[in-house]
């Protein structure tokens, strides 16, 4: 599926705008459907879901994405019956609607050149929709046809008035009439009639809103459109090829208005080979559409055929399918290359740009004054003149300093505000997990409710996009491991519903996100026993609670009694920690047995700016991100305990434990790095569960700098997160503390 190539820039703009709207609609649809399951009597929510699919259908028709339009129309027909009270919300219906929503991003990706959705899956969903859509059509179709004929006659009666005085009011009536017709025909199962009315209504929108001029030339076009409508109202059997040709001709005339169509449509290109068997069977009325969909659903995939023929192993087939799924998911992510920005932010940016222009005007004036004064100085003939010019130069220099100060403030403000343009509320991500929690709770037989706080908290869009996978694992863990089953919770005096809290907030220039449950908590002795079985902890060794909790981030550790689809394989928290560390963040655990567990994730507000401390080692300077620094102090080497044969050969007593000391100069292989003589500067750094003292020659200053990606011009450098440019133009490297601590360990 894909939009046809169009030269018209207006069409391209329409497609792009529809794509943005469609992506927003898909994001909210799932939440609306889940809310509808919780409150079946919420008619407002039913109307919202119906309007969403109606908008998708109409927009897809306009973008010429017919597969998406047809799919959305079928679901819209079901929702029309739900809205009219002919259907009731049920778990099966909600599950079916959610499956339909899952297909929408695939349609959008395919429309942009990505992999097409699985036809068998589409056919399966449509087949399951059919019982909900099908009604006693004999009486309803007859009544619907009478109602449609009444609308058509009303429009036809007013057509002569439109010819005398063309105006938008009658076109608006015509649009609303066809919009009503498509809903009525769809609900009655008159699919051809509904599709025709839908296309006419969509083509009337730009005429009604004034995008196309309304002239008397529109009258014969609409007359033919109404004539075809009357023809379809009276048609009981599927349209003949001649009828289909007239339908296409009328729609083409409306689409091309005000340009006239050629006298005859171009001859269709000859088709090579026979038409699909299903098309012939439907035309000859040898099978029903339902029979055809069921037959398509039984078709086998290529991978299954190759496995059955012994030419491909199941493992290799599954591996190839996983690659295909990853590519499809990536294509969907790559499609979202734009971001909606709050108009207040844009207005403030325009104000800052205006202030920048004012700053340049002041600077130009001060420089012109300086040039004039220097010229006067060169022509001064006596000491009095020289003195007067000197005073003026001093005053002008003071003005230049003030302008420079204003420029610095303006630059910082502009830089900080530019970063906010990339910030989006995290609520969209947090609400998107409602479906995951619902499915996981049903799968485990538990009752779980989601509570969200701080949905308005803003985070860099790039960070939000990369948090989905680690959050999914933490939420599944909370449901599978943490929250108890209803009967167990009631026996412990808890409510049967477990609560999952997602809480986002800003703290100290960072964003913190808590994932907290009120479940059983973590059995520390069980974790310690598992670690001893794997040989990570000696039998007589005792560990603090923090050290035991840190074991959960080791690869291969699982406390589950059995492997389920959700957990138990010992793969997960280590990957979560790596993904959070890749975002320059940290994750920590707090728990209380019988009360629940909290995972706190701390992240920078943006990946575009780093807040760091500039340190010097030898003749070189580096930036250590402040997010990695716990504290800094100076210590005398006499307190160190030295061990031989390790990279971190020195240790320092710190808060009840021996802290490994890393000589940054040795670690990076820097020549002429000063060995500590007397007290030394130590930064206590922590990343991914590892802590160490970082020895540097001195700390210079703390700054906030823009991060430049090295990969754009060079290649990835281990231990270096990126680079930045100082005020004096020098390039400074930003240290990747997680990598350095892993190397030291």
Check residue 340 and give its pLDDT.
Answer: 67
Q: Which of 134, 162, 182 is the last residue of a domain?
A: 134
DSSP state of 647: S
Kindly give, in sequence order, each residue whose CB lies less than 8 Å from that of residue 484, ignoring residues fewer than 6 positions away.
446, 492, 494, 498, 519, 520
- CATH code assigned at 498: 3.30.565.10
Average pLDDT over residues 359-383: 80
Enter the DSSP assignment of 708: B
Question: In sequence order, which residues have a C-beta less than 8 Å from that of residue 585 and are 6 or more positions away?
Answer: 601, 602, 603, 604, 627
Q: Are residues 591 and 726 in the same domain?
A: no
- Say yes or no: 193 and 207 in one domain: yes
pLDDT at 374 over 90: no
Residue-wise pLDDT tens digits, 267-277: 444 343 444 55
Q: Give a yes or no: residue 283 inside a domain.
A: no
155-169, 302-316, 333-347, range with the lowest pLDDT: 333-347
By DSSP bridging, strand 690-696 and strand 498-507 are unpaired
Is residue 273 situated within a structural domain?
no
Element (H, E) at 697: none
pLDDT averaged over every residue in the chain: 77
Tokens 């018209």 identify what position?
A: 8
Q: Give me the mean pLDDT over the 671-695 stretch.
A: 74
Report pLDDT for 550.
83
262 in a structural domain: no
- Tell me: do 430 and 396 sit in the same domain: no
The parent domain of residue 316 ranges over 301-338
pLDDT, residue 423, reads: 80
Q: Are 471 and 534 part of one and the same domain?
A: yes
pLDDT at 503 (0 to 100) = 93
| Arithmetic mean of pLDDT, 519-538 | 86
Is 25 within 8 Å of 52 (Cβ atoms)?
yes
CATH code for position 379: 1.20.58
Tell me the three state secondary structure of residue 727. coil
Task: Specify the pairing of strand 510-517 against strand 596-604.
Answer: antiparallel
Looking at the structure, tell me whether residues 316 and 357 fall in a common domain. Answer: no
Angle at alpha carbon of residue 320, lines to 318 and 321, rounded to 5°: 60
Identify the domain boundary among 232, 257, 282.
Answer: 257
Confidence tier at 740 by pLDDT (50, 70, 90): confident
Q: Does residue 502 sit within a domain? A: yes
Alpha carbon separation from 543 to 524, 551, 560, 732, 745 (Å, rounded):
10, 10, 21, 40, 19
Percentage of the chain surpassing pLDDT 90?
A: 4
Q: What is the three-class DSSP state of 613?
A: strand
> Do 24 and 152 share a domain, yes or no?
no
* Least-confidence region, from 132-136, 368-372, 432-436, 713-717: 132-136
pLDDT at site 648: 43
Q: Are residues 87 and 113 in the same domain?
A: yes
| List of residues 6+ apart from 287 with CB closer than 8 A | 278, 281, 295
Query: CA 575 to CA 349: how far, in whole Å?
Result: 39
Cβ distance 235 to 185 under 8 Å?
no
Q: In this structure, what token pair is assigned to residue 49? A: 């879901």
Asked if pLDDT for residue 640 goes beyond 90, the answer is: no
Decide if pLDDT at 257 tops 90: no
pLDDT of residue 5: 42
For 269-335, list the strands marked E by DSSP: none
pLDDT at 301 over 70: no
DSSP classification of residue 236:
-
Who wins on pLDDT, 154 or 513? 513
* Weakest-pLDDT range from 143-157, 560-574, 598-612, 646-660: 560-574
The pTM score is 0.55
> Are both 521 and 446 inside the same structural domain?
yes
Higher pLDDT, residue 454 or 690 = 454
What are the residues whose beta carbons fall under 8 Å from the beta carbon of 220, sequence distance 6 or more?
none
Is 686 among the domain residues?
Answer: yes
Mean pLDDT in residue range 289-299: 54
Q: Look at the chain and report how many structural domains it folds into.
A: 6
Out of 375, 391, 421, a domain closes at 421
Straight-line distance from the first to the last Cα atom of the chain, in angstroms, rounded to the nearest whole number:
52
* Helix axis angle, 66-83 to 168-187, nearest 10°: 80
Which residue, among 431, 432, 517, has the nearest Cα to 479 in the 3D structure? 517
Backbone angles phi, psi at 731, to 5 degrees: -90, 135
pLDDT tens readout for residues 552-600: 888 777 665 554 555 544 446 888 888 888 787 888 898 888 889 999 9
Same domain (yes/no): 402, 413: yes
User: Residues 475-500: what's their mean pLDDT?
Assistant: 89
Top-confidence residue, 118 or 498: 498
Confidence band, pLDDT 50/70/90 cuts, at residue 332: very low
Spatial separation of the C-alpha atoms in residues 543 and 546, rounded to whole Å: 8
Q: Out of 323-327, 388-392, 676-680, which region has the weakest mean confidence (pLDDT)?
A: 323-327
Enter the tokens of residue 233: 């109202």
Contact 111, 65 (CB under 8 A): yes
| Tokens matching residue 517 | 């449950």
Domain CATH number, residue 700: 2.40.50.180
In a domain, 286, yes or no: no
The reply to whether 179 and 205 lie within a common domain is yes
Query: 627 and 591 in one domain?
Result: no
CA distances from 617 to 153, 516, 622, 710 (A): 88, 42, 8, 21
How many other CB atoms are found less than 10 A from the CB of residue 390?
14
The pLDDT confidence band at residue 515, using thresholds 50, 70 and 90, is very high
**Same domain as 417, residue 305:** no
Mean pLDDT, residues 117-136: 76
Say if residue 126's pLDDT is above 50.
yes
Q: Residue 513 has what pLDDT?
A: 93
Residue 274 belongs to a domain? no
> For the domain that residue 7 is a member of, what is the CATH number?
1.20.120.160
Indicate the pLDDT class of residue 646, thresholds 50, 70 and 90.
very low
**517 pLDDT exceeds 90?**
yes
Residue 270 lies in a domain: no
Omega before 258 within 30 of 0, i.e. cis: yes
């Amino acid at each position: 599926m894909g939009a046809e190539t169009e030269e018209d820039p207006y069409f391209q703009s329409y497609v792009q705008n529809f794509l943005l709207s469609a992506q927003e609609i898909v994001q909210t649809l799932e939440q609306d459907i889940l809310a509808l399951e919780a409150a079946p009597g919420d008619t407002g929510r039913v109307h919202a879901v119906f309007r969403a699919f109606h908008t998708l259908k109409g927009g897809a028709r306009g973008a010429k994405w017919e597969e998406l339009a047809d799919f959305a129309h079928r679901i819209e027909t079901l929702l029309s019956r739900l809205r009219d009270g002919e259907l009731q919300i049920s778990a099966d219906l909600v599950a079916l609607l959610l499956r339909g929503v899952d297909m929408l991003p695939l349609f959008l990706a395919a429309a942009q050149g990505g992999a097409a959705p699985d036809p068998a899956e589409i056919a399966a969903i449509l087949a399951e929709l059919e019982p909900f859509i099908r009604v006693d059509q004999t009486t309803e179709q007859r009544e619907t046809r009478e109602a449609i004929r009444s609308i058509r006659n009303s429009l036809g009666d007013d057509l002569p008035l439109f010819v005398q005085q063309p105006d938008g009011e009658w076109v608006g009536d015509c649009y609303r009439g066809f919009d009503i017709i498509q809903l009525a025909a769809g609900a009655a199962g008159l699919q051809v009639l509904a599709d025709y009315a839908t296309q006419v209504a969509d083509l009337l929108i730009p005429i009604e809103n004034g995008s196309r001029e309304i002239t008397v030339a529109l009258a014969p076009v609409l007359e033919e459109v109404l004539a075809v409508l009357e023809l379809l109202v009276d048609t009981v059997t599927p349209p003949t090829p001649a009828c289909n040709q007239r339908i296409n001709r009328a729609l083409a005339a409306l689409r091309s208005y005000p340009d006239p169509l050629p006298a005859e449509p171009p001859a269709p290109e000859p088709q090579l080979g026979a038409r699909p068997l299903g098309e012939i069977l439907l035309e000859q009325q040898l099978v029903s559409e339902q029979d055809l969909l069921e037959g398509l659903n039984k078709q086998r995939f290529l991978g299954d055929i190759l496995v059955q023929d012994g030419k491909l192993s199941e493992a290799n087939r599954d591996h190839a399918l996983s690659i295909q799924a990853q590519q499809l998911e990536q294509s969907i992510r790559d499609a979202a290359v734009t971001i909606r920005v709050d108009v207040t932010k844009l207005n403030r940016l325009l104000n800052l740009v205006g202030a920048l222009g004012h700053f340049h005007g002041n600077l130009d004036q001060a420089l012109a004054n300086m040039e004039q004064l220097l010229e006067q100085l060169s022509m001064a003939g006596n000491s009095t003149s020289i003195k007067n010019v000197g005073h003026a130069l001093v005053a002008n220099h003071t003005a230049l300093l003030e302008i420079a100060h204003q420029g610095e403030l303006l630059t910082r403000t502009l830089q900080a505000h530019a970063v906010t343009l990339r910030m989006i509320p995290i609520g969209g991500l947090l609400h998107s997990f409602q479906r995951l929690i619902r499915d996981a709770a049903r799968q485990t037989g538990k009752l779980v409710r989601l509570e969200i706080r701080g949905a308005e908290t803003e985070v860099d869009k790039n960070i939000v996009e990369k948090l989905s996978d680690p959050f999914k694992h933490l939420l599944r863990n909370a449901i599978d491991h943490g929250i108890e089953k209803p009967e167990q919770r009631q026996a412990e005096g808890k409510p049967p519903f477990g609560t999952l809290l997602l809480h986002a907030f800003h703290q100290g220039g960072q964003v913190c996100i808590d994932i907290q449950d009120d479940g059983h908590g973590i059995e520390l002795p069980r974790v310690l026993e598992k670690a001893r079985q794997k040989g990570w902890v000696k039998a007589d060794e005792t560990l603090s609670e923090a050290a035991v909790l840190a074991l959960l981030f080791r690869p291969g550790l699982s406390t589950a009694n059995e492997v389920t689809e959700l957990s138990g394989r010992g793969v997960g928290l280590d990957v979560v920690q790596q993904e959070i560390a890749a975002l320059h963040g940290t994750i920590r655990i707090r728990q209380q047995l019988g009360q629940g567990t909290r995972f706190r994730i701390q992240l920078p507000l943006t990946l575009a700016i780093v807040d760091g401390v500039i340190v010097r080692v030898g003749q070189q300077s580096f930036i250590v991100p402040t997010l990695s620094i716990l504290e800094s102090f100076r210590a005398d080497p006499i307190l160190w305990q030295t061990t031989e044969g390790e990279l971190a050969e020195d240790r320092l007593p710190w808060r009840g434990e021996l802290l490994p000391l890393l000589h940054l100069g040795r670690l990076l292989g820097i020549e002429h790095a000063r060995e500590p003589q007397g007290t030394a500067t130590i930064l206590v750094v922590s990343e991914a569960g590892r802590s160490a003292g970082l020895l540097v020659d001195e700390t210079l200053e703390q700054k906030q700098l823009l991060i430049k990606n090295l990969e754009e011009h060079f290649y990835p450098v281990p231990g270096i997160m990126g680079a930045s440019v100082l005020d004096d133009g020098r390039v400074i490297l930003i240290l990747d503390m997680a990598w350095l601590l892993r190397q030291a360990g």
